[in-house]
A and B are shown apart, each in its own frame.
Chain A
Amino acid sequence: MIATYTDLKDKVILVTGAARGIGKNISLALAAQGAHVVFNYRGDEAKAKALKEELEKTGGKATALKFDVTDYEAMTKVIDDFTKNVAPISGLVNNAGISKDTLLLRLKPDEISSIIDTNLKGAMMVTQALSRNFLKAEDVSIVHMSSIVGLMGNPSQAAYAASKAGLIGFSKSVAKELASRNVRSNVICPGFIQTDMTVALNEKAKEEYSKSIPMARFGTPEEVANLTCFLLSRASSYLTGEVIKIDGGLYI
């Protein structure tokens, strides 16, 4: 942990898609700050329990909620139940995302739907489900995990890029709509980060990619988590509607 944000201690923060990759690192970083991390899981009870224990061992409190971001009705019910009976949520990391890399001409309509439904509509729906709660909560900060691809486009990632670009327009609208209520909304656009998704790439491909990055290396999930902590804390209290690239200079 590089920086400590004292206001994150006991802050209740929902992180979607926390099971692995960047989402898991964000959850761990928040737990290390002493936050109460709320995360969702879709089915694997044992895995959810293990993550909850890992987070609590790291420092904070942790709560596992069972919902799928694409099942709006069930998700709203679970979230309502938590905010009314346990604690108001004052931080949200819309991180759940999927990808299916294929040429546009091979992309099937249902593949487009599932990517947009999870990455974009899912984030919109979770934010909407929390809107009333946000009006009552204090120091609300929302962070949307977009991608550098949402800014610069990428072959074979048309649907993914569209969903990630969509998050930017969504975040800016939320920022304007709720700014008067002290609710902030910002976007993070990671470049190449070492995760399950990129570990699968072969060494040669990674070397090629690294050549296009001015800092000549992939980023770490911890680096993205650091930025997320900053955006969730009052350290960034005048920052809203912003889009921050974290990509080692890839897209300059």
Chain B
Amino acid sequence: MELQDKVIKLVSEATKMDAANISLNTSFVDDLNLDSLDMVELMMKMEDEFGVEIPEDETENLKSIGDVVTYLKSKSH
């Protein structure tokens, strides 16, 4: 599975939002209505899933699914 699809699947499970409605442009706050605590939990799930550490100050820059995918890609090199 592509990284992008893995991220979407994880977000879909965490937010109970249909994966078909989630794309790279989906915003965590505007489209998924996540609050700051939801975001922390979601990033913790990402960390577990992808075995990376996402520092707290980095989280603020991750506003959309695309941002997360780009960030994870940059970490995997």
Contacts and interface: CB of A to CB of B under 8 A. Distances in A.
B37 A136 contact: no
Interface residues of B, number: 4
Contacts of B37: 135, 177-178, 180-181
Q: Is the interface of A mostly helix, strand, loop or mixed?
A: helix
Nearest to A136: B44
A132 B41 CA distance: 8
B40 interface: yes
Contacts of B40: 132, 135
B48 to A, nearest CB: 9
Contacts of A132: 40, 44
Contacts of A180: 37
Interface of A: 132, 135-136, 177-178, 180-181
11 contacts: A132-B40, A132-B44, A135-B37, A135-B40, A135-B41, A135-B44, A136-B44, A177-B37, A178-B37, A180-B37, A181-B37
The 5 closest A-B pairs by CB, nearest first: A135-B41, A132-B44, A135-B44, A135-B40, A136-B44
